[in-house]
Amino acid sequence: MAGSSDAVELELAPEDGGRDRLTGRAYWVAMVMGAAGVALTINQTFNLQVFGEPIIDTSFYYLILGLFLSLAFLAYPARKADRNAIPWYDWILFTTCIVTTAYLAWNGGRIVAEGWDLIAPPLAVVVAGIVCVLALEGVRRAGGMVLFCLCTVFAFYPTFADVMPGFLWGPSSTLPETLTAHALGVESIIGVPMRTVASLLVGFLIFGSALVVTGGGEFFMALAIALMGRTRGGPAKVAVLSSGFFGSLSGSVISNVVTTGQITIPTMKRIGYPPHYAGAVEACASTGGALMPPVMGAVAFIMAEFLNVPYSTIMIAAAVPALLYYGALLLQADNYAARNGLKGQPASEIPKLLPVLKKGWHFLFSLCLLTYLLLVMKQEALAPYIATVVLVGTTIVFGSKRFGLRGLRDLTIDTTRNILNIVAILAGVGFIVGALSYTGVGGAFSRELLQFAGGNVYLLLVLGAFTSFILGMGMTSSACYIFLAITLGPALIGAGLDPIGSHLFILYWGLISFITPPVALAAIAAASIAKSDPWRTGIWAMRLGMVNFVLPFMFVLNPTLIMNGTPLAILHDVTTACFAVWLLASGLEGWLYGVGAIGWLSRAALMVGAFGLLAPGVYTDLVGAGLLAVVYIGNKLWRKGLAT
């Protein structure tokens, strides 16, 4: 883990979203193109046929790619020296991207009808090569060098797959064949990730930006303070709640740390939390945002596409594990505060709950409406647009923050920044999907993994967890998940495990690298704000996020935790899991409600009991309950003996 401020700055640069470069002429270009992209998406989603006839999907995807990937060359610098200015060559890349993607969009019908991904005209081959280079440069700027290197290897993998050993072998393709397959086929650059963005995710990014622009961020922070600020260790609990909300909407771990951590970390330090602990709390809370419904960032939508299930199914399955994770963080923060005598925030800093709700009830209403439309009405494509219109309308009528032309402008540019970031990343990630599909290596990897595990599900899960963790280092959650969903997902499902549980297992373990040294990007970001040692912050983040190491094994082996089973079984297993999280938090922090501070022997017993309650089976439940009883009664008797 890099400890210097320069290292932190370099790691976090891709998350900036171009806020220093999109000024002046670039600002207005981004405004116009972003608005055009959103309008085009709305036209396609609602089938408005503004242009007289429907736009075929292939052309639509190329138009979205051109409008937003081109902006990535204005928003993100090619090198650090260009951070605050846009050099002439970035404008050339911007123009080239527009021209080449416009050519592909214009010929969208011919690409499909004439099979250009297999045999294309010479000009189309040249254009395909240019688009591939632009996609790789876009992912380098927006996603960083680690992701760029991985995407580059896979982009050219079909050209040398025939010389690879074992299950890595695949049929060979020439360079022109590879380039046309990537740029003109439907499995790579405009494959599942890009189609998911264009068809579903844009609406949710608009809703998230609308919440920020209309003051929803301030409201939810104030609500968290009003609910938790006055309790012991209140600022840590505020960090958990606020980061969980923001992370759910953005899905970006690092930007979540930087956004909410600027407020929560100094407040935690002020009431007595050590800097490393404050940074660890924020890192864990921000990492869990991508696991928390209702939005979960981009990953959940891509997961639904891979599994061919409604997004609402993913939401329901992810709810209990996410709540258990955040419950563990809240309990640990409270136990630490109790053990160390920490208080809450001063009363003068805590707003009254009713005035906060009266001022921002429309934000909660819009979020509840979005959830209702997703879960009950099953309107995944339309839900965010409807919720956004309601949010903006209620803000204009009831909100304390004015929303006029400036608000509309801010909404447009913020939405554009968010969309261009994810388009630039997922266009590059498409190379991974395409290469594994074209060569057949993805399926071969799954078969090899199954064979190596020899039918042992536990060994397969350990191998899968290790693979997910390694590949998650330095990659975005979306990129890591997509790669593993293709290679590891079929192996887990082929072993008889629940499909949704298997994909959530991959997602959880891919995210763990954000809080685990030596990478621990979330911990590094939080440590830079807390002014603490990155290594120590990362180690404490691992400890606070311990439940995240256990939960994936539990819900993939016991699908009742993802709401798959009979109502009685779900009730029983969720209840025991809640008790398990309580015991785990008590053991980690050395504080048991009703007893107080406990020693290491009691802490170890509680942690063993927690694992007993998490494991399925009556006997393991009895072990967990028995150890809790022994610790509770033993400590009570011991304290009574000391008192007498």
Whether cis (ω within 30° of 0) applies to the bond prior to 384 is no
Q: What is the rounded CA–CA span in Å between residue 349 and residue 477?
A: 35
Q: What is the rounded CA–CA span in Å between residue 635 and residue 597?
A: 9
Euclidean distance between the first and final Cα of the chain, in Å?
51
Given a contact cutoff of 8 angstroms between Cβ atoms, the answer to whether 138 and 73 are in contact is yes
Name the token pair of 461.
Answer: 């899960």
pLDDT score of 398: 87
Q: What is the rounded CA–CA span in Å between residue 489 and residue 497?
A: 10
- pTM for the model stands at 0.88
pLDDT digit string, tens, across residues 126-177 = 999 999 999 999 999 998 898 899 999 999 999 999 999 988 899 989 999 9
pLDDT score of 7: 30
Name the token pair of 561.
Answer: 């935790």
Integer-rounded Cα radius of gyration of the chain: 25
- The closest of 418, 413, 366 to 392, measured between CA atoms, is 366
Question: Strand 596-597 to strand 591-592: parallel, antiparallel, or no bridges (unpaired)?
Answer: antiparallel
pLDDT score of 218: 86
Name the token pair of 437.
Answer: 């599909």
pLDDT score of 220: 87
Q: Helix 405-439 crosses helix 24-45 at what angle (to 10 degrees)?
A: 70
Block residue for tokens 């939401």? 315
Q: Helix 600-614 crosses helix 618-643 at what angle (to 10 degrees)?
A: 160
What is residue 488's DSSP assignment?
A: T
Given a contact cutoff of 8 angstroms between Cβ atoms, the answer to whether 262 and 246 are in contact is no
Non-local CB neighbours of 365 within 8 Å, separated by 6+ positions: 390, 394
Burial class (CB in 10 A: 0-12, 13-18, 19+), 579: middle
Given a contact cutoff of 8 angstroms between Cβ atoms, the answer to whether 177 and 159 are in contact is no
Given a contact cutoff of 8 angstroms between Cβ atoms, the answer to whether 250 and 208 are in contact is yes
Non-local CB neighbours of 163 within 8 Å, separated by 6+ positions: 172
Given a contact cutoff of 8 angstroms between Cβ atoms, the answer to whether 553 and 324 are in contact is no
Residue segments in the chain with a per-residue pLDDT below the cut of 50: 1-18
564 backbone φψ class: left, alpha, beta (φ>0; ψ -120 to 50): beta
Report percent pLDDT > 70 for the chain.
Answer: 96
Q: What is the rounded CA–CA span in Å between residue 415 and residue 407?
A: 12
Given a contact cutoff of 8 angstroms between Cβ atoms, the answer to whether 325 and 547 are in contact is yes
Q: At 185, give phi and psi (nearest 5°).
A: -85, 175
Given a contact cutoff of 8 angstroms between Cβ atoms, the answer to whether 184 and 128 are in contact is yes
pLDDT digit string, tens, across residues 577-586 = 999 999 999 9
Block residue for tokens 């109502």? 567
CA distances from 69 to 418, 478, 543, 641 (A): 12, 17, 39, 71
Given a contact cutoff of 8 angstroms between Cβ atoms, the answer to whether 453 and 409 are in contact is no
pLDDT score of 643: 62
pLDDT score of 251: 64
